[in-house]
Structure 1
Amino acid sequence: MKTVLIANRKGGCGKTTIAVTLAAALADGGWQVALADADPQKSASRWLKRRPADVAPIRALDWTGPGALGKGAKGLDWVIVDAPGSIYEADAAALVAEAHAVVVPVLPSFFDADATRRFLKEIAGIKRIRKGKAGVELVANRVRPRGRDAARLAAFAERIGQAPVAAISERVAYGDLAEAGLTVFDKPQKAFAPTRAQWTPLLAALTS
């Protein structure tokens, strides 16, 4: 079983959207997947309650209570964890320490890039990450197809010495589908193919 933690201390970076879409992508690939909600806001849990029965199943895990981390994860291929914003509370730090990978969403803005740079520096000291047992993957999120986003992301990557593994465009489809407990991976129509393709580099990095 592999555990992937979706985390960033910067609010509004699209952490839950990344978590639910990644969980749906893996479930669509035939794996046994759970979405563990460790965020007290429970956005991922509310999304799962809306998920229809006729799409790839995703098990719901509530990891928000005291001592709840890790419960119910047996018999799975993947656990995707929507981390709390306060990542350095004791339980969250333990979660990072057990993760096989940490996915960090970053928006293409100065404030988000700066907060993410500081977050990456902080988690670099965690033993599992420091020893290379857990990879850290950046995902550029809500990138506009046109504009200065590409230049901002390139400058950010140069400053920290790590480029985002994938760039996910800003699309209204994510919000529209989320209302029904769905993602672009639950929609096989050709129109969604380019959007799904943007996730291929992240999926390849996690499954290799």
Structure 2
Amino acid sequence: MRGAVAVTKSQCRVLVLNSKGGSGKTTISTNLASLLALRGSVLLADLDPQGSSLSWGKRRPEHLPRIDLIDDPERDFRGYPPSDYVVFDAPAGLKRGRLEDMLGEVEVLLVPIAPSPFDMDASQQYLQRLEEIKRFRKGKVRLGVIANRVKLRSQAERILTEFLQELELPLVATLHDSQIYVRAAMQGLGLADLRAAEARKELPQWARILRFVETGERYGA
């Protein structure tokens, strides 16, 4: 890591968060960081005591585009290296005070939701809590939902799509239930680091995520 410098307002700062564990926050965070590293300097801040993003970063080969890492389970947001992008990999089960603090540090909130009744129930309760937070309610943080680990043309995909439409949640992308993410994570890689032929099926969805992060635009919106 480089010398300690405070986070600046000019950065694009993204929080990846869901109240439920196992929703795919680290998968989203690490792959997003790998893609953003092709566009500028990236800091991946691991806020989860489990340290999964930090472990991923330690496995990352040195010849790949650099991603700075910081371990910040106490979430005090100090001493961050300067960078064009900051991706926060957040823990599950945050209390309201901590959630407010974290939303105060970002412009973009990405919420991965898996197509299971447990994930959808937990996500609905969590998103209702967000509406009580002033910064979010005033539109200072833009929310994007990512349907994660979805099997194409399955009943689960249909149910999740209907769930998101009913709640009028802004769906940004749909990531498929693919072993490519598992294989990449084991090597400290993201989709951006794989051969084009391997990542081809998923890259259009990630292009939508990148566009939302940088401009707020959604596909088909």
| TM bracket (short chain) | over 0.9
1:139 aligns with 2:146: yes
Q: How does 1:44-193 map to 2 (within 5 A)?
A: 44-65=53-74, 69-88=76-95, 90-193=97-200
Are 1:154 and 1:163, in contact at CA under 8 Å, matched by a contact in 2? no
Corresponding residue SS for 2:79 = coil
TM-score, with structure 1 as normaliser: 0.93
Are 2:12 and 2:214, in contact at CA under 8 Å, matched by a contact in 1? no
2:44 corresponding residue in structure 1:
35
Q: Percent identity?
A: 34
Are 1:73 and 1:79, in contact at CA under 8 Å, matched by a contact in 2? no
TM-score, with structure 2 as normaliser: 0.87
Shift, 1:89, TM fit: 6.0
Q: Count how many residue pairs are aligned between Structure 1 and Structure 2.
A: 205
Matches of 1:44 and 1:4 in 2, distance apart?
15
The farther-off stretch of 147-156 and 87-96 is: 87-96
Structure 2: give runs of 5+ residues left out of the alignment. Answer: 1-10, 216-221
Matches of 1:112 and 1:86 in 2, distance apart?
13
Corresponding residue SS for 1:36 = strand
Moved runs in structure 1, 4+ residues, more than 6 A? none
1:16 corresponding residue in structure 2:
26
Alignment RMSD: 1.5
Corresponding residue SS for 1:199 = helix
2:35 corresponding residue in structure 1:
25
Corresponding residue SS for 2:69 = strand
